[in-house]
Amino acid sequence: MSWQTILKRVPEGYREAAGCIVFKGDKVLLMRRSVKETSMHGMYELPGGKLEEDETPKETAIVETEEEAGIRVSIDKTLVPHKDDKMKKVYHGFTASVGEDVEPVLSEEHDGYKWITIEDALSMKEPLSHHAKFLFGQLKGSE
């Protein structure tokens, strides 16, 4: 199934989510899930979340980045969606860039963050969400 088809038709029973790769120079923002979260605490992930009714994936990425990281972004690039059959989710990815002086303000969902190169993120010992790995792989493949 092509990504254009996924964008037009989400399989029955699947939910949509969207996230944003926020760049500061050559580094990206990763956020560590808080122990207050019911699952996957300690895992690093991108800011993002489930689509609300009547919200586009792009709008979700922008809103969730502001809610989770306190950062207002403008989307630079739309990435190919990732269909996750195990989680029954279609995950949309986007990129945005921020200035060198920008730092996140964490919500309760996260208890830490780091700015890290994609190469270092893909090889770090701490757990990294598979959605982030997938989207980072796309970016590495397009260089």
Every domain of the chain and the residues it spans = 3-141
Handedness of CA 106, 109, 111, 113 (dihedral sign): negative
Angle among Cα 57, 92, 77 to the nearest 5 degrees reads: 85
CB distance 98 to 91 below 8 Å: no
Right CATH number for 3-141 from 3.60.150.10, 3.90.180.10, 3.40.50.10300, 3.90.79.10? 3.90.79.10
| pLDDT digit string (tens) for the chain, length 143 residues | 445 444 557 888 999 999 999 999 999 999 999 987 667 889 999 999 999 989 999 999 999 999 999 999 999 999 999 888 988 999 999 999 999 999 999 999 999 999 999 999 999 999 999 999 999 999 887 65
